[in-house]
Amino acid sequence: MRELGATHITTVGYGPESETVDAHFVVPVRSYLQRYAGYLIRGSQRRFRYFFGRYLDQVPPGDLDNFDLIVVNEIEYVHWAGFSRENLASVPVYLDLHEDHVYHADRGLLERFAFRKYWAWQLQETVSFVRSRVAGISITSVEEVIAESYSQLFSMSVDVIYNAPDRNDLRPTPVQADAIRLVHHGMGTKGKGIEETICALNFLDSRYSLDLILFATPQFKLKIELLSRILGVRNRINILRGVPLSDLPLVLNRYDVAIVLLSDVTPGHWNSLPNKLFESIHSKLAIVTGPNPSMRRIVEQGRVGVALPSWSPKALSAVLSSWTASDIWKFKENTTSASAVLSSDQSKVVFARIVRKLEAEAREGK
């Protein structure tokens, strides 16, 4: 934003204040017990207020005056009544939608009970929000199919911005034929291929080890701890805490192969282009993904790895055991050119174009 001429930046959301902003208002992260209690609230408006609305209402109105652009990350906040205030209703909006909210995202009966009604309400409210913006709105998503779904829903063009990091000067690290290091990083939840990767290790010989760098609940960590012990591979697995995004490239760079598996349990999973795919490429790792079409395209076009025919542990182990150290090294070498193409440079160009468009529309409307 500073690069585009922003002189004052105010943020509202999770986490501490960044050094790059002028003011920050915190929406607290609720404890697990508080979150589960919130999920039992059946009224959508009341649930929104429980998690977000009451904290947004605490932001002094004077601190939200005289803005030229509102940036909304995901749909969690668009239901805030404050956006209809006169001083904000006339401000252009950039809405960045990372997830696919058009189709159902629940992965079982419990999630269907806890979230489906609320998610449907969120989507309906988002449509109303988009159509209510008299000063103009631009929308982006992270993948072409998801963007097209939003484009049809909102009856307007939706641009694509990949969740790709900045370029770095890391080089691929050498591959040792007798010690091949696999890694999975990110959120520790089901549907991320973690259990399948642990099972695949059971079919691989002792040359292969796996590090799991996870932001996960104690319950999930216990689950994978028990699974790895039952399969007899616990001595080849390290379960590590997640690391900040700024430290991630250097941490991952010492590994050989990144496992990036997302099932087709929901349309959003099937069409996903997750952050970890781009982060792994920028960390100069060979990549193994599932058959998800967008991930397959990225991996195959960049020649940085292989997309599996299925998400099964045997399919994963068959590919890994067929690779030589030379194969892995070639994939890692190719990430240097692939990461140059798949970087934040693309997002900066698209975002700059969006900001200029909204500025022009705002001037015309005055």
- The label of the residue with tokens 């930046």 reads 9
Confidence of residue 67 (pLDDT cuts 50, 70, 90): confident
193: alpha, beta or left, given left = phi > 0 and alpha = psi -120 to 50? left
What pLDDT does residue 365 have?
Answer: 59
Longest distance between any two alpha carbons in the chain, whole Å: 69
What pLDDT does residue 366 have?
Answer: 52
Structure tokens at 219: 């319950």
Q: SS3 helix, strand, coil % of the chain, rounded to 5?
A: 50, 15, 35
- Reply yes or no on whether the pLDDT at 219 is more than 60: yes
CB 255 within 8 A of CB 288: no
Query: Rounded to whole angstroms, how far apart are CA atoms 151 and 129?
Result: 15
Structure tokens at 207: 């040359």
CB 142 within 8 A of CB 164: no
Q: How many CB atoms lie within 10 A of CB 357?
A: 14
Query: Rounded to whole angstroms, how far apart are CA atoms 38 and 255?
Result: 39
What pLDDT does residue 30 have?
Answer: 87
Confidence of residue 110 (pLDDT cuts 50, 70, 90): confident
Give the DSSP letter of residue 110: H
Query: Rounded to whole angstroms, how far apart are CA atoms 134 and 150?
Result: 19
- Reply yes or no on whether the pLDDT at 2 is more than 70: no
Q: Considering the chain, what percentage of its residues have pLDDT values greater than 70? A: 98
φ, ψ at 269 (rounded to 5°): -65, -45
- Reply yes or no on whether the pLDDT at 1 is more than 70: no
CB 238 within 8 A of CB 212: yes
φ, ψ at 241 (rounded to 5°): -75, 150
Confidence of residue 138 (pLDDT cuts 50, 70, 90): very high
Is residue 303 classed as helix, strand or coil in its secondary structure? coil
All structural domains of the chain, each given as residue ranges with its CATH number in brackets, are: 2-164+344-365 (3.40.50), 180-341 (3.40.50.2000)
What pLDDT does residue 88 have?
Answer: 84
Q: Are strands 158-160 and 257-260 parallel, antiparallel or unpaired?
A: unpaired
Query: Rounded to whole angstroms, how far apart are CA atoms 21 and 66?
Result: 16
φ, ψ at 86 (rounded to 5°): -55, -40
CB 316 within 8 A of CB 198: no
Structure tokens at 264: 């087709």
Query: Rounded to whole angstroms, how far apart are CA atoms 255 and 267?
Result: 30
Triad 130, 135, 136: Cα angle to 5°: 50
